[in-house]
A and B are shown apart, each in its own frame.
Chain A
Amino acid sequence: MEYVNPEGLRLDGRRFNEMRQIVAEIGVVSKADGSAVFEMGNTKVIAAVYGPREIQNKSLQKNNDHALVLCEYSMAHFSTGDRRRQKNDRRSTELSLVIRQTMEACILTELMPHSQIDIFLQVLQADGGTRSACINAATLALADAGIPMRDLAVSCSAGYLNSTPLLDLNYVEDSAGGADVTVGVLPKLDKVTLLQMDAKLPMETFETVFALATEGCKAIAERIREVLEENTKQLEYRRAA
């Protein structure tokens, strides 16, 4: 199948280095301490953060000097084309772990000993790149909750199909069998916190795909910063009024 036509356009009309449209909003769950919705094309994720608060389950407490970060990823029944039935499958568990480790790396956990931070992620629509969308949504929700962070962790994926590196794969491109590189970075510190790839790629190609995904991360970071700044302006405006 042809994923990139001779004019260099992809199935959904994007160019190789183009991302899907991003829509992000803060404060969508009224009862949570922080929440956000992050949309990337047809992928839509809601994140809610509860905490920092007292540790609910003492048996989970391992390190007294750091906050405990917990993460749960769940997919709505209607999020995929065909209905899924099981709730706690292995993919969700793995994703929860990946997101938790990425977020733990950017939260200043040492400032909040004896406390717990819960991050809940709910996928409303899945169309490729849920991993990245979840991390971006979690970052926004954590910022909304006012939790101190080293940097805004952002994530983006890139792949390689028809000998072209492609940014931000959608579901069709993702299931095409090519390589899929998911990168998470801390843009200000210029550090990679998450790197996953499936399928195989030659070394030099990996470099270009990896660079493309990192570029994507930087663009998303800028967008996220804009959303946060806009939100702060709104708050400032409301305070003045």
Chain B
Amino acid sequence: MVGISLGEQHFIKGGIAQDLRTDGRKRLTYRPIYVETGVIAHANGSARVKIGGTDVIASVKAEIGRPSSLQPDKGKVAVFIDCSPTAEPTFGGRGGEELSSELALALQRCLLGGKSGAGAGINLSSLLIKEGKVCWDLYIDGLVISSDGNLLDALGAAIKAALTNTAIPKVNVSAEMADDEQPEIDISDEEYLQFDTSSVPVIVTLTKVGTHYIVDATAEEESQMSSAVSISVNRVGHICGLTKRGGSGLDPSVILDMISVAKHVTETLMNKLDSDISAAEAREEES
């Protein structure tokens, strides 16, 4: 973690109280966001997102699998996050595992909805190939290369971009089959289906420092936080998931206030990300 002196701590807190942070931003301003798609050649979709000093890669791999018996009409999605020691020496060995699983769980909560699969940001039914028999298993892998705070938002944005970039091969299932047999499938290597990402939410983390809260906190600012709430909101303004981190408790009215602020912030962020992603896609097609 970041070691900072008492003076610096006061400076950070004072700046936030006066709506002028140490890097010159206002409380609700993001650092510049950079999006690049198609960075991993042998994945079905991939993207790299940089927010200031934070740098993450997300990749999507699709494999043929079997739907779970509880939800025979849905495909499966799994999120894995890895914190590379390049980002922070303490992530070496098993050091990054705790943070990795915390991030993975938070993302799962924000993107995939509840156990029933209802309300998921990713449309799980679209991953089905043949009910109860064959479906796509989506493996979403995130990798943190450089960390300077706000990892969850960056990973959320990268996953959204990677899913937009994802092309899933078209599959033809042989028509008639006995009930207990595994149907034969034919994976096309020419036709690809674009993934519908219009309902994938974006994640905004509001970090509470002192009595105020900020978006897109840097590592220094995060070290001063009392608590943080991550809210994922989709395009129509519905909340898809919510996570609170940090030790100290929050007043319920503050949480409601945070949610309305987050909803406002996501609108701008969603538009910015969408245009960045389509620009990145266009750039990739050109090259």
Contact = CB atoms under 8 A, between A and B. Distances in A.
Interface stretch (B54-62, B122-130, B203-211, B235-243): B54-62
B146 A30 contact: yes
B218 to A, nearest CB: 11
Interface in B40-73: 40-43, 46, 53, 55, 57, 59, 61
A118 interface: yes
B61 A83 contact: yes
Interface string A44-56: 0011101000001
Contact of B86 (A78, A81, A83, A120): A120
B92 A120 contact: yes
Nearest to B39: A124
A77 interface: yes
Contacts of B46: 78
Given A77-B82, A120-B86, A122-B84, A31 B146 contact: yes
Given A30-B148, A83-B141, A120 B85 contact: yes
A101 B139 CA distance: 36
A88 B92 CA distance: 11
Nearest to B91: A120
Contacts of B270: none
B87 interface: yes
Given A29-B87, A72-B92, A122 B145 contact: yes
A46 B84 CA distance: 10
B40 A46 contact: no
Contacts of B92: 72, 118, 120
A29 B57 contact: no
B147 interface: yes
Contacts of A30: 53, 55, 146, 148
Given A83-B141, A118-B92, A125-B41, A29 B61 contact: no
Contacts of A72: 85, 92-93
Contacts of B53: 30-31
A74 interface: yes
A104 B87 CA distance: 22
Nearest to B219: A31
B42 A125 contact: yes
Nearest to B90: A56
Given A77-B141, A120-B89, A125 B146 contact: no
A42 interface: yes
Contacts of A81: 42
Contact of B89 (A50, A74, A122): A50
B90 to A, nearest CB: 9
A16 B175 CA distance: 48
Contacts of A124: 39-40, 57, 143
B30 interface: no
B84 A74 contact: yes
Interface in B136-159: 139, 141, 143, 145-148
B86 A46 contact: yes
B195 interface: no
B93 A122 contact: no
A125 B38 CA distance: 13
Contacts of B87: 29, 31, 48
A48 B55 CA distance: 13
A28 B92 CA distance: 19
Interface in A159-213: none
Given A48-B86, A78-B46, A88 B93 contact: yes
Nearest to A48: B86
B145 A46 contact: yes
Given A32-B86, A122-B85, 13 more contacts: A29-B146, A31-B146, A42-B41, A72-B93, A76-B84, A77-B82, A77-B141, A78-B43, A87-B82, A88-B93, A118-B92, A122-B145, A124-B57
20 contacts: A28-B146, A29-B145, A31-B87, A31-B147, A35-B86, A42-B42, A48-B86, A74-B85, A76-B141, A76-B143, A77-B143, A81-B42, A83-B141, A87-B82, A88-B93, A118-B85, A120-B92, A121-B86, A122-B86, A125-B42
Interface of B: 39-43, 46, 53, 55, 57, 59, 61, 80, 82, 84-89, 92-94, 139, 141, 143, 145-148
Interface of A: 28-32, 35, 42, 46-48, 50, 56, 72, 74, 76-78, 81, 83, 87-88, 118, 120-122, 124-125
